[in-house]
Structure 1
Amino acid sequence: MKDKSGKWSNPVNAGDSINTILDEKTAFIHPDGKTLYFSSPGHPGMGQDDIFYSRKGKDGNWGKPVNLGYPINTKNDENSFIVSLNGKHAYFSSDRIETTHGMDLYSFELYPTARPQQVIYVSGKVTDASTGEPVFASVEFIDLESGKISGKTNSDKIDGSYLISIPTGLNYALNIAANGYLFHSENFSLAHSIPEQPYNINVSLKPIKTGSTVVLKNIFFESNSYVLKSSSIAEIEILIALLHQHPALKIQINGHTDNIGNDVNNQLLSENRAKAVYNYLLQQGIVATRISYKGYGETRPIASNDTEEGRAQNRRTEFTVTGN
């Protein structure tokens, strides 16, 4: 594993399910992070080095290796196996009988049961909103359904760029944070994305300054409710981390609604939603002198209420820096 400083940790043995008394070689972990392909003469096979695949379980351990079978594996050596990003195409080397110069390269369409989970590349740049200069930041993708981190990386210190692969078919929260800056959050869907087309997200971070406001795009409530959904917790935890990193920081949680419904009810709903976030922060140990809350109802729209898209933007929770 690579740590935050970019240094590699000591290697860890993959365990008895993968390793035998013979030589396992040419390991390839697909960008899905949980499908391992490798060659070995030590597992039951068809000849010398055969190609196998194994999947990582929820417990973090590798499952029993599966032989890719004939005609991929032969009585000779097959190794150096790699799989395309979309999981459909595979490449390997072999010294089978029909080879012309020792080890030849082969490609084929990988059968479905041996394919990894489909992933897509997400790339972008993180910059300072005031100067446009690149920013070294933590970039985190969270599966909104499970609340678990699906991918985490850092932007480059030199140019602010980042590149990461994450599974398709999911709805994501994106959180980008850097020391001295207010974090950025948004959510997006990769349910219908094609892996060959990278998803690009560029972000400008605001320096921490009194009066600055950040929309908490991954705070969710049921319709007409002020009970926080479990998918909101990851975002609030990032806000808590920001408050811990900057002990002098003070904020106000703001609640807003669209203009559908009764004015008085909207005002009350916005206040209760802001209070729900405020109460969670208190429960997690943030002192009351550093945080406050206020509901604005429908009085401060940031988009037109004439469209559903605009109304969705207006139904929001945010925080404003009140002291630093």
Structure 2
Amino acid sequence: YSQLGEDGKWGPATQAPALMNAQANNAVFWISPDGNRVMIRGAYEDGVYKGRGFSMLNKEGDGWSKPQMINIPGYESLSKDMYSGGFLTSNGKHLLIYLSEEKNSFINDIYVSHLNDDNTWTTPESLGSDVNTFEYDEISPFMAADGVTLYFASNRPGGLGEHDIWMVRRLDESWKKWSKPVNLGAPVNTPKWDAYFTLDASGEYAYLSSMERTSGGADYDEVGGKNEGNILSEPQSGDYKMVLPYGKKYVMRATADSFNTVVDTIDLTIVDAYKQIHRDLYLTPEGVRIVNPDDSSRRNMDELSDDEELREGEIITLNNVYFVFAKSYLKSESYPELDKVVKVLKANPGIRIELSAHTDWIGSREDNMKLSQDRAISAKEYLEYKGVELGRITTRGYGETKPIANNMTAEGRQMNRRVEFIVIK
């Protein structure tokens, strides 16, 4: 492998670790966008070579895990010749494989295997006659980050040389209907053998293997698309990297053993030029859990009488406090519920409360913290305007950090958007 320096020049080639070079013919077919996962040629079990196929290595500290095979049903019976390879899409959900179903044949077709929800893989299926031909060779698939644009090499008629780079676009979810293949032409293709075309995340540079030149690059104006899948962070620094196209709002979920899951969002609905976004995801240790809404110390405002005596530590949820969407302005429908709070506080003149507001996980953590704090202040100001003495109410905005329900459902998110108070004295 070689690394690109800050000066824009590639460094000297360095031999990869022995784990990646265990056989006579070795190859790296895919590297994750963050550089923390590598897919290599060969099926390995706990680092021991078992036969043809594909295996994954994960970055661990200063080194790599032992390669572990990707179990692809039917691969051994389909792939009869040794000349085969693959490419994993950016989201890690679709494995594109080129293989030949005949022994001693150099005529390959491109297949796809999909990752199921239970982390098993489907039996590979041909991409169909829009991509594959009967008498010509199709190899080295590369799917752009949009999950739609496919590049591959073929020696079919209409090219400039032995193998050329062609491009098609996926038309539906069947992975069998594609646009008419387009030859990329010069300077990408040459009169000689060209294959293994890839694009960088920005779409600025293309890299390929060529018999005309050992390596090369070409400028492109456009590349992008969805990148919904799993990535691994670097084990020591926690760094991660993913490729996301514009046009959507993305939800990120960070998980780790013995830590609570953290959810954040990135809004890329407005199309802009390629850029890098820094986003830290802080995971809290297990033990900081979803608040139990059925806790005996937690009651709804509707359960209280106007003159009921409250105890220290009690949490009262206000179910009918409403704000303008994404704002801290109280809606008039909130006044009856807040008026009940005024009556309860006047009936308990010796207590003080912390009035808190909470959000669901839609939006950034920073925005949700500020929004919840502003909403808590808005509710406090109303209560004081209605006669609650100054100094009896403190406010706190918790954002999305204290959910009482599952944020993955609309019902759960509605429950998490709430105002409540706890008796602190």
* Structure-2-length-normalised TM-score: 0.38
Select the structure with the greater relative contact order (CA < 8 A; seq sep ≥ 6). Answer: 1
Q: Greater Rg, structure 1 or structure 2? A: 2
